[in-house]
Amino acid sequence: MATGTFAESGADLELVGITKRFPGFTAIENLDLYIPAGSFFALLGPSGCGKTTTLRLVAGLEDPTEGKILVGGKDVTNTKPYQRPVNTVFQSYALFPHMTVLENVAFGLHRRGIKDAVAKAHEALLLVELDHVSNRKPQQLSGGQQQRVALARAIVNRPALLLLDEPLGALDLKLRRQMQLELKAIQTEVGLTFLHVTHDQEEAMTMADTVAVMNKGHIEQMGAPQELYEMPRTAFVASFLGQSNLFTGEVSAGPADSLSLEIGGNRIVVPRSRAARHTGKVTLGVRPEKLTLHTEAPAHDATRNVLNGGTVKDVSSSGVSTQYIVSFPNVGDIVVFAQNMVFGPVVHEGASVSVSWNIERGFGLEDHPEEAGKFVPDDSTASIAVAQRKALFAELEGA
């Protein structure tokens, strides 16, 4: 990007056929992604799914093995990080410890030879309400303040694209909520394109216009947060984004506009429009809060799926709602969330219950739970990095 000028507005980002291989493992496999200008886009996935690698590729900190990266329609694949109109808010903030807050924020402006760098840095600090600490060193600030300095240091350059690498990961819950709102407000105010990488589904859903769920180096599903939640297409999305009850069975004959499944002697129906697959073995799902608990078998209703003969195995309250685990013979355990409308649980352990839900609330997946595989949730990015590094060294040593 030309030095001395600011990007007029956010630019769009396009990844075409990106593959990134590290020695001995593939982080990203043939990824295509389009992020429209001015949007707040979240890449959501568990540790090691390739989301941070994607971000580093866009920033220019890694080179793709194959594929092209376009920012605002311009191919930047072969440019260096300092030549790209892209700035990053790092996970650890990466504030320069030997410089003051102001020097940190003005760093990028000075490098690009922009006039009034100091005044612009003060402006950016005012935006994040930290101008009063501009002469402090970063270590003297709290975590939330450091995060805001990191944000100011990035947005002061008016990048066409702002990359956020789990920027709120180090903050406690309350501060995180507050920062989520602030970040969203700033994005709206400055109108930049934000690409936000996170493993926190709540964060992705509250902040982003569009969420892409990533798993094992490819995108499982992309869309508006509500859409992803209501109609997950894969078992991975269904269980990574909130909780789901999943049932797998053969499709049997039924009405033209819906699929019927035989599961443990029960008939479960889902509208054809809400299913990704229409024949053979199909997995259906339903969110726990969509379920209604009945102490007596409900009367037949064509618009509802009903499971009878369940036994309550466990009851636990989270304050707002109560979670029931109901065991059905031949079906398995089903989780039900019920609002705590009255004091105490409605039923107790060992009670016989039925469960029902509106067939319009179910969804049909394109794969099956066993195909998605269970990801290992406690594999931190750090331990993956160490493992990769060891593998890398082993390979280099052997070469």
Partner 1 sequence: MRFSFGKALLPIYTVLALVFLLIPIGYTFVFSFNASDKSNIVWRGFTFENWTTVCNAQGVCDSFVNSIIIGVVATALATAIGTAMAIALVRYRFRFRGPVTLLLFLPMATPEVVMGAGLASQFLTAGVEKGMVTIIIAHTLFCLSFVVVTVKARVSSLDPALEEAGRDLYGSPAQVFWRITFPLLLPGIMAAALLSFALSFDDFIITYFNSGSVYTFPKFVYISAARGIPAQANVIASAVFFLALAIVIVSQVFASRKAKKLAAPIS
Partner 2 sequence: MAFAAFASSAQAVDAAPRKSSKVALVLLAPGLAYLALFFLTPLIALILTSLQAPALYGDMGEFVYAFRWENYVSVVNEYGDTFLRSFGYALIATVAALLVSYPIAYFIGVWARKWPVVQAVALILVIAPFFISFLLRTLAWKQIFSDDSWTMETLKALSILGPDAHFTGTPFAVIFGLTYNFIPFMTLPIYTTLERLDTRYLEASGDLYARPSTTFFKVTLPLSMPGIVSGTLLTFIPASGDYINASGDFLGGPGTQMVGNAIQSNFLVILQYPAAAALSIMLMAVILVIVAIYVKRSGTEDLI
Residue ranges binding partner 1 (CB under 8 A): 3, 59-61, 80-82, 86-88, 90-92, 94-98, 107-108, 111-112, 133, 136-137, 139-142, 153, 157, 392-393, 396-397, 399
Q: What residue 86 binds from partner 2, partner 1, none (CB within 5 to 8 A, per partner kind)?
A: partner 1
| Residue 97 interaction partner, one of partner 2, partner 1, none, beta carbon < 5-8 Å per kind | partner 1
Residue with Cβ nearer partner 2 (70 or 391): 391
Residue from 185, 385, 394, 395 in contact with partner 2 (CB under 8 A): 385
394 binds partner 2 (CB under 8 A): no
386 scored as a contact of partner 2 (CB under 8 A):
yes
Residue 87 contact partner, candidates partner 2, partner 1, none, CB within 5 to 8 A by sort of partner: partner 1
Q: Are 57 and 64 in contact (CB under 8 A)?
A: yes
How far CA 248 is from CA of 221, 256, 264, 378, in Å, comes to 20, 20, 10, 27
- Contacts for 131 with CB less than 8 Å, ≥ 6 apart: 122, 125
- Of the candidate spans 135-143, 148-156, 298-306, 384-392, the one that interacts with partner 2 by CB under 8 A turns out to be 384-392
* Position among 2, 299, 382, 399 found at the interface with partner 2 (CB under 8 A): 382
- Nearer Cβ to partner 1 (341/399): 399
Rounded least distance, CB 383 to partner 2, Å: 8
Candidates 28-36, 171-179, 337-345, 385-393: pick the segment binding partner 2 (CB under 8 A). 385-393
Beta-sheet strand order (sheet of 321-328) = 292-294, 352-358, 304-317, 321-328, 332-339
Which sign, positive or negative, has the C-alpha torsion 237, 238, 243, 249? negative
376 part of the interface to partner 2, by CB under 8 A: no
User: Min. distance of Cβ 294 from partner 2 in angstroms?
Assistant: 51
Task: Compute the C-alpha angle 111/192/81, nearest 5°.
Answer: 35
Partner whose binding site includes residue 153, from partner 1, partner 2, none (CB under 5 to 8 Å by kind): partner 1
Of the listed pieces 138-146, 204-212, 334-342, 381-389, which binds partner 2 according to CB under 8 A? 381-389
Q: What's the residue count for the chain?
A: 399
Residue 22, contacted partner among partner 2, partner 1, none, CB below 5-8 A by kind: partner 2
Q: CB of 123: closest distance to partner 1 in angstroms?
A: 17
The smaller minimum CB distance to partner 1, of residues 142 and 317, is found at 142
DSSP 214-246: EETTEEEEEE-HHHHHHS-SSHHHHHHSS--EE
Tell me the three state secondary structure of residue 133: helix
d(CA 131, CA 122): 6
User: Could you say which of 110, 132, 348, 389 contacts partner 2 (CB under 8 A)?
Assistant: 389
Which stretch, 149-157, 326-334, 355-363, 380-388, contacts partner 2 (CB under 8 A)? 380-388
Q: Quick check: 132 binds partner 2 (CB under 8 A)? A: no
Residue with tokens 């469960």: 355
Would you count residue 2 as binding partner 2 (CB under 8 A)?
Answer: no
Token digits of residue 70:
């376009």
Q: What x-and-dash track marks residues 316-345 binding partner 2 by CB under 8 A? A: ------------------------------
- To partner 2, the closest distance from the beta carbon of 35 in angstroms equals 25
| Closest to partner 2 by CB, 313 or 389 | 389
**Dist. CA 184–CA 352, nearest whole Å:** 47
Whichever of 21 and 304 has its CB closer to partner 1, that residue is 21
The secondary structure of 306-359, three-state, reads: EEEEEEEEEEEECCCEEEEEEEECCCEEEEEEEECCCCCCCCCCCCEEEEEEEH
Size of the site for partner 2 (CB under 8 A): 7
Strands 245-252 and 281-286: antiparallel
Strand partners, 338: 322
Helix, strand, coil in percent for the chain, rounding step 5: 30, 35, 35
Question: Which residues in 5-64 contact partner 2 (CB under 8 A)?
Answer: 22
d(CA 122, CA 120): 5
Task: Write the CA distances from 299 to 106, 261, 266, integer angstroms.
Answer: 69, 20, 15
Contact 250, 238 (CB under 8 A): no
Residues at the contact surface with partner 2, assessed by CB under 8 A: 22, 382, 385-386, 388-389, 392
